[in-house]
Amino acid sequence: MRQFILILSILLIGSCNAQESALNQYAKTTIIRNVKIINVRDGSIAERMQVLVKDGKIEAIDKNLKASDASIIEGEGRYLMPGLAEMHAHIPSPQWGRNRTDETLFLYLSNGVTTIRGMLGHPSHLKLRSEAANNEILSPRIFTSSPSVNGNSVQTKAEAREKISQYKADGYDFLKIHPGLKLEVFNEVVKIANEVGIGFSGHVPVDVGVRRAIASGYSSIDHVDGFLEGLVPQSIDIVPDQNGFFGYNFTHLADRSQINELVEMTKRNKVWVVPTQSLFSRWFSPVDPEVMALNNADLKYMPKSTVAQWISSKKNLINNPEYTIEKYVLFTDIRYKLIKSLHEDGHGLLLGSDAPQVFNVPGFSIHHELAAIIDVGLTPLEAIQTGTINPAIFFGKEGEFGEVKVGASADLILLESNPLEDIKNLQKPVGVMVRGRWLDRKMIDMKLAEIAERAKDI
């Protein structure tokens, strides 16, 4: 019996070591053979190509490549595309524990998300950003906002001067604007941000309004926040802070003829928009939350307590006396028209799902978002561009990521089938490469199973 226990212990230790080895697998040189490379700029496909990856970057792309010391990944006629960017992501803060953070980062990676823009910064995220960049942790590339700049955290112009200057000195990539800022304080935030050289993104405070927000130089406005309120004619006497869930209460007052004006303003002021439409098609939709919970397999990766909170939150929204299916349909139609017009005639769209948010599991939610913006009217190629080349342009890093090209970071997704024919083909990659580190399907599934098992007990 003792001998059996000893053998079992050795096997278990070996299994753990194998998992750790898989997590830390990093070949300095890799060749991905016989793949069809998707050009995300124009949708063209280069057949039977080989991609040489060295030290985390794409060193060569050709039909015939050799490297004696290379690790080989057999593409076998599969499709290769750049990794996706989740441009409205959230990273857990330390209170949730490092395990929860590591799991969240892996959930993004497992779905082909190799870059995230964290939208609620914390000092610990600055360290994570550095660890990710240095391949010390298994993580997407990280851009992180400052802590929230809102009506409670920044109440005076003096506070604005102090905190914005400090956030820039701390090294945050940009400021996160939340609701509640008074107009004079917001103006001071913008002034100091411009002086110290830090951008700002996020919500549109009610006191500010979408027109002032666009003109002030937001890098991105997320959730299409403030736009519906901006469609209400100025001749109508409304109480701005009674706008409800992203303007829902003003749905019947919206004048669609003003859409073109707002869209043109975003183009003129170079303001990107992150729709996070899946937030509305899932959290705010009239679907029964209990039914949604039963029909979404990806919820198994979230703690049971979190899923229970999501169900409760969704119930509270759709059981409100102001909420009707008819009004939701009209609200959605207006959002669709805004988003489609912002794509066609505005400055452009960025892919983001606001994960983890109600019924949006990190990584998995990016596929809900891709489906949602295709429902809006974008083609699969246009939808993919919002999560690849557009984020690279947004960050001023064209050529560094967002494309499969020589010199770019080796952030790649290997797929069985062409996502330009059906966006659902993106949902279960054969493997994901992040800065040259290869995660195959077996390793991904093994790690996901571990996360699901732990989630049962939380």
pLDDT tens digits, one per residue of 35-84: 999 999 999 999 999 999 999 999 999 998 887 788 999 999 999 999 99
Position 109 in a domain: yes
Neighbours of 327 (CB within 10 A): 15
Position 444 in a domain: no
Which CATH number goes with the domain that contains 138? Answer: 3.20.20.140
What pLDDT is recorded for position 56?
Answer: 96
Which CATH number goes with the domain that contains 48? Answer: 2.30.40.10
Question: In terms of domains, do 41 and 151 share one?
Answer: no
Question: In terms of domains, do 182 and 192 share one?
Answer: yes
Count how many domains the chain has: 2
Pairing type for strands 437-440 and 431-434 reads: antiparallel
Asked if 119 contacts 89 with a C-beta cutoff of 8 angstroms, the reply is: yes
* Rounded mean pLDDT, 137-154: 98
Instruction: Indicate if the pLDDT at residue 5 is higher than 90.
Output: no
Instruction: Indicate if the pLDDT at residue 10 is higher than 60.
Output: no
Question: In terms of domains, do 432 and 336 share one?
Answer: no
Q: Where are the beta strands (DSSP E) in 238-322?
A: 272-274
State the alpha helices, DSSP H only, in 319-359: 325-345
What pLDDT is recorded for position 26?
Answer: 59
Which is more confident, 337 or 4?
A: 337
What pLDDT is recorded for position 65?
Answer: 86
Average pLDDT along the chain: 93
Question: In terms of domains, do 227 and 366 share one?
Answer: yes
Question: In terms of domains, do 180 and 62 share one?
Answer: no
Position 4 in a domain: no
What pLDDT is recorded for position 22?
Answer: 40
Both tokens assigned to 228: 């519906």
Question: In terms of domains, do 413 and 269 share one?
Answer: no
What pLDDT is recorded for position 3?
Answer: 39
Choose one of 394, 421, 451: the last residue of a domain.
394
DSSP annotation string for 23-69: HT---SEEEEEEEEEE-TTT--EEEEEEEEEETTEEEEEESS---TT
* Rounded mean pLDDT, 123-145: 97
Position 5 in a domain: no
Domain that holds residue 417: 26-82+404-439
Question: In terms of domains, do 104 and 68 share one?
Answer: no
- Of 6-20, 239-253, 298-312, 366-380, which range is least confident? 6-20
* Rounded mean pLDDT, 307-323: 94
DSSP annotation string for 49-62: EEEEEETTEEEEEE
* Rounded mean pLDDT, 282-304: 94
Confidence of residue 9 (pLDDT cuts 50, 70, 90): very low
What pLDDT is recorded for position 397?
Answer: 97
Distance CA 447, CA 453 (A): 10
Position 20 in a domain: no
Asked if 101 contacts 92 with a C-beta cutoff of 8 angstroms, the reply is: yes
Question: In terms of domains, do 41 and 127 share one?
Answer: no
Position 75 in a domain: yes
Tell me which DSSP letter residue 283 carries. Answer: I
Instruction: Indicate if the pLDDT at residue 153 is higher than 50.
Output: yes
* Rounded mean pLDDT, 5-11: 37
What pLDDT is recorded for position 68?
Answer: 78
Confidence of residue 21 (pLDDT cuts 50, 70, 90): very low
What pLDDT is recorded for position 285?
Answer: 95
Question: In terms of domains, do 47 and 175 share one?
Answer: no
Question: In terms of domains, do 371 and 413 share one?
Answer: no
Question: In terms of domains, do 75 and 91 share one?
Answer: no
Among candidates 199, 191, 75, 95, which has minimal Cα distance to 144?
A: 199
- Of 7-21, 115-129, 231-245, 296-310, which range is least confident? 7-21
Position 452 in a domain: no
Question: In terms of domains, do 218 and 270 share one?
Answer: yes
Position 424 in a domain: yes
Distance CA 186, CA 203 (A): 12
- In the chain, the N- to C-terminal Cα span, in Å, equals 34
